[in-house]
Amino acid sequence: MMKKNMKNSLQIKEINHGIACRIGNTIYYNKSLKQYPELFKAILEHEKKHTEGFSMSDVFLDLKNEEIAKFKRQYYRFILQNPSSLTEFLPCWKYEEKLVWNPSIAILWGVLLGGLWLIAFLLK
């Protein structure tokens, strides 16, 4: 159980790209998300579950992503209507002038590129 006062120290900031992410104690979200209130709430719930730093539990959290599962349709509609959200899927992006890695996405790209490399290697 998390104590209430720990959650209170979380800051929530609006940005104009990506979907949402947590960096330390700050949750950044794309301001266009507010047009999808249910999805927005689910995403905030998800981000609150992330740790301040980074651990394997964060990767599992992103793989399961059960908070957003109920709102998958809204999620994809949001992405299609807001191409700026696609920066979410890059392994790193600038947040407040700082380049920030997204370890979950970086791992995903690593697996994807590793798989492609393996296929290319096997087809040689």
Is residue 88 at the binding interface for Zn ion, with CB under 5 A as the rule?
A: no
Segment contacting Zn ion by CB under 5 A, of 4-12, 25-33, 58-66, 114-122? 58-66
User: Does 62 participate in binding Zn ion (rule CB under 5 A)?
Assistant: yes
The CB-of-20 to Zn ion minimum distance in angstroms stands at: 8
CB of 55 to Zn ion, least distance (A): 12
12, 54, 76, 100 from 73: Cα distances, Å: 24, 28, 5, 28
CA angle 50, 89, 42 (to 5 degrees): 45
Q: Which two tokens stand for residue 49?
A: 């579950």
Q: What residues line the site for Zn ion (CB under 5 A)?
A: 62
